[in-house]
Amino acid sequence: MIRKFAAAALAVFSILACRKNPEQRGVRESPGLTAEVDAYLQPFLDAGGFSGAVLMARGGRVLLDKAYGLASQEFGVPNTPRTKFQIASLSKTFTAAAIMILQENGKLSVRDRLTRFIPDYPAGDKITIHHLLTHTSGIPNVNDFPEYDREARFPHIVPQIIAMFKDKPLRFPPGDRYEYSNSNYNLLAFVIEKVSGSSYGDFLEKNIFGPLGMKDSAHRASDGVIVPGLATGYAPSGAWGLEKAPCLDWTIKTGNGSLYSTVDDLYKWDRALHDGKILNRLSLDAMFTDHAGGMGYGWFVGKRSGRRTVRFNGRSPGYTSYLERYIDDDACIIILSNNYAPVPHAAIDGLRAILFGEPHTTLVMDKGFKADEASLKTIEGRYKFGLNFYRPDAVVEIRMEDGALEIVWSETYKSALRPLAKGVFLDRLFWTTILFQADTEGKVTGFIWRDTKDYPAVRIK
């Protein structure tokens, strides 16, 4: 019989308070909102999982606009609400909007076949712009290729990126299902450049950033250009430390994750979408319609805490981002971070509850807990996930390194596991909890990788 370290798990994530706000479904417009957000984020800050900026607003009124931690660990420079951050895949919301602008101007249609823009693209006569926007094209994700990490260190123009995946076989027939792939948005950037006659960055500046006064937002067209006020990107290292994020030339993410911005500029984006300043109502409705598995055009659509939302998040070396908009409440939460730990994704539920005065939990992490080396040794080994994991059938190794455990996804992709209680660890790189399981004799047989849901992995020889 398998037993879980349930008591240990409860000891890790303690409920400090599960308080109902007397303002039912209202918005906290008092100074207490800031204090509550500060208290909620403090454990993430203490664990070295977050540094960045947060903006919360409703009805055209900003309720919180505050920065946390350092933009530069080396020089002790603090973040501010006007600090710039790479926003990673949140860039896709702008790429999708650019396509809709071109459609409104009669330059293209989302039903156009890819062969109209790249005549020799394999299966391009079956792939439409709609398929690219909704990640239903079947084109494999360029990020998954073994050569991607090497190529990401050097500048690229869009045709060079497309050449990396153009001749790869489709993963499924176009339109058959949803599967997230950054390659789709590299192709959309190419379409924008070909149809408009402008570079991707220039088109966004002329048609979105400039008209909206987003002066602190742009495409990283050259990694050598100095961007004043841009936070340095970091990644978790060891139990509680940080290290500089690996080198990345952002041109390889053109269209799918190459933009930088600020929380203040992204709030202007929220207002523009609300007011229809850039796109007409038909285009906005198309963007915010669930076309495939909760995917609109550049946005995830659905409900959160019973509220109708459109949202998107991003994560690239050194940076994470999250923008969640509540359509019927005219509210939004924007989180930008210069830390690779996906805390914005982990923290959004609590921040949403605070914004709307609903019950939430505050997490407690015991930094003083120590795990003895003998018990850690019993955990070392290889483990295999199931088909429902993000990487189906993924095999990982858990091993000792300098007296602590680390989970190894590949020889170049690994992260330290911080012990929080007996059999319970924090994977800081993904900000997930790992709960090890044992049989009646105490032998470790597997673990649960706990994210938004539980993913089991079994121990293998």
Expressed in angstroms, the distance from the first to the final Cα of the chain is: 20
d(CA 210, CA 213): 5
Q: 192-198: long-range contacts at Cβ-Cβ below 8 A with a sequence spacing of 24 or more?
A: 192/95, 192/98, 192/99, 192/102, 192/255, 193/158, 194/117, 195/102, 195/107, 195/108, 195/117, 196/102, 196/107
| Tokens coding 214 | 């987003």
Phi then psi for residue 102, to 5 deg, are: -65, -35
Q: Tell me whether residue 455 is in a domain.
A: yes
Same domain, 350 and 416: no
CB-based contacts of 298: which residues, under 8 Å, 6+ apart? 92, 93, 94, 95, 96, 97, 133, 287, 312
Q: pLDDT category, 367, cuts 50, 70, 90?
A: low
Same domain, 319 and 421: no
Same domain, 287 and 434: no
CATH number for the domain that contains residue 133: 3.40.710.10
Same domain, 291 and 179: yes
Q: Tell me whether residue 380 is in a domain.
A: yes
pLDDT tens, 144-194?
A: 998 998 999 999 999 999 999 999 999 999 999 999 999 999 999 999 999
d(CA 131, CA 172): 12
Same domain, 100 and 203: yes
Same domain, 183 and 258: yes
Instruction: Return the pLDDT at 30.
Output: 55
pLDDT tens, 399-450?
A: 988 788 889 987 667 888 888 888 888 888 888 889 999 998 889 999 999 8
| Tokens coding 378 | 């019993």
Q: Is the pLDDT of residue 4 over 50?
A: no
d(CA 212, CA 47): 37
Would you say 316 and 323 are in contact if contact means Cβ atoms under 8 Å apart?
no
Same domain, 173 and 261: yes
| Tokens coding 270 | 């929220």
Q: What is the DSSP string of 61-125?
A: EEEEEEEESEEETTTTEEP-TT-BEE-GGGGHHHHHHHHHHHHHTTS--TT-BGGGTSTT-TTTT
- Please state the length of the chain: 461
d(CA 147, CA 55): 37
Cα 175 versus chain centre, distance: 24
Find where tokens 């709960």 sit.
435
Query: Could you list the residue range(s) of the whole structural domain that residue 428 is in?
Result: 3-9+370-460
d(CA 290, CA 297): 9
| Residue 210 Cα distances to 108, 205, 249, angstroms | 23, 5, 25
| Tokens coding 343 | 């805390």
DSSP 8-state assignment for residue 135: T
Percent of the chain at pLDDT above 70?
92
Q: Is the pLDDT of residue 16 over 60?
A: no
Same domain, 351 and 382: no
Same domain, 384 and 456: yes
Same domain, 338 and 454: no
DSSP 8-state assignment for residue 247: P
Q: pLDDT category, 1, cuts 50, 70, 90?
A: very low
CATH number for the domain that contains residue 433: 2.40.128.50
Same domain, 394 and 315: no
Instruction: Return the pLDDT at 194.
Output: 98
Q: Is the pLDDT of residue 22 over 60?
A: no
Instruction: Return the pLDDT at 362.
Output: 76
Q: Tell me whether residue 48 is in a domain.
A: no
Instruction: Return the pLDDT at 366.
Output: 66
Same domain, 252 and 383: no
